Amino acid sequence: MELRRALLLFAIVLGLAAIATSLSGPSQRQAKPERSPAEQSTPTATARPEAGESAAISFSASGRPRTERLEAGRPAVVTVKVVRPGQVELLGLGLSAAAEPLTPARFDVFERRPGSHDVLYTSAESDEVQKVGKLRIVP
């Protein structure tokens, strides 16, 4: 008798979940339209992405520090690749994240004020701070 009640309750919960899913609307489940290969290229920091798209900015802890530009008020995804585990910080923006060789640090940046922000990396093995680059927010 208890097993029947449990199965009935389970069936009711599944039915309610199916109803809730059908009422949530198809707009949330629709896939993005496919784009041509020319449109699939990743935008750079200095490119003007389409409205609603984020610019992609990448730094690397190996090699020389680079300066990347981003227009004020434009969203961007900033990634920092490292060789050894450590901590990455975008100085002046209050953003920091852990990074590993296979998992770069990732930041969602949306800054409206122009300025210059150092990208710093501190290895987990030492306290030495390395300047990876500079993110310039330009008007």
Cβ-contact 83, 44 below 8 angstroms: no
Q: How does DSSP classify residue 48?
A: -
Domains and CATH numbers, the chain: 55-138 (2.60.40.420)
- 79-112 pLDDT, tens digit per residue, is 999 999 999 999 888 898 999 989 899 999 888 9
Mean pLDDT of 3-15: 84
What percent of the chain is predicted at pLDDT more than 70?
Answer: 78
pLDDT band at 69 (very low <50, low <70, confident <90, very high): very high
Q: How far apart are CA 73 and CA 138, in angstroms?
A: 9
Choice between 18 and 120, residue whose per-residue pLDDT is larger: 120
pLDDT at 50: 52
Determine which of 1-5, 30-34, 56-60, 98-102 has the lowest per-residue pLDDT on average: 30-34
- 5-14: Cβ within 8 A, 24+ apart: none
pLDDT band at 34 (very low <50, low <70, confident <90, very high): low
Closest CA to 67 of 108, 103, 118, 16: 118
Q: How far is CA 87 from CA 42, 68, 71, 84, in A?
A: 26, 20, 26, 10
Provide the pLDDT confidence category of residue 44 given band limits of 50, 70 and 90.
very low
Length of the chain counted residue by residue: 139
Q: What is the structure's pLDDT at 19?
A: 83
Cα-Cα-Cα-Cα torsion 65, 66, 72, 74, nearest 10 degrees, comes to: -110
